[in-house]
Amino acid sequence: MLKRGGLRLLTTGEIALAQKIFASSIRYHQVWIHHGSYLPFNIQDNNTAMTPNGEIWFETKVYRDDYSTATVDSQHLFLHEMVHVWQHQRGMMVRTRGLFSWAVDYYYDLNGKKLSDYGMEQQAAIVSDYWLLLNHGFYKYTESIKYKYYSPVESDRNLSLKYKRVLGSFPL
């Protein structure tokens, strides 16, 4: 395992995982993964990941040497953070918006808005939750998803259509 304080580039498996969502819309060779705290004095919570500047900072309890071979929950977190990489590479002020992420709502509804109408964290939740739905379904992972109105009686097909309406032409 990479020592705390170390950094690495994405693995080929992580790139392949991310390409399922982002295709070629991310400059993967520029994405660094850090094992440790982005915040000074190591005050980043041990269960937290942060992506303030196009690089991902995973603290010890959530760091993995290769997210493509990790648990579904770890892959879901990795893809959530990769949305922030995508946002950063498109010019969003992720670091500035991230200063207030403790006060924003990660939960969302799928009420017909476009992806760009949602906040930064909601966008990341929508994209990573959609990946979860398509690849594993929501049934076993209800604690991981941020969709406010999920009901296990709603079909995956119907849910998928709702996500597609919101995601529009997002790279998938």
Active-site residues, by number, are 81
- Give the pairing of strands 49-50 and 56-58: antiparallel
Strand (E) positions, 40-102?
49-50, 56-58
Alpha-carbon distance 90 to 107, whole Å? 23
- What residues have CB less than 8 Å from 48, skipping those under 6 apart? 59, 62
Helix (H, G, I), strand (E, B) or coil at 68: helix
φ/ψ of residue 50, rounded to 5: -140, 145
Helix (H, G, I), strand (E, B) or coil at 43: coil
| Terminal C-alpha separation, the chain | 31
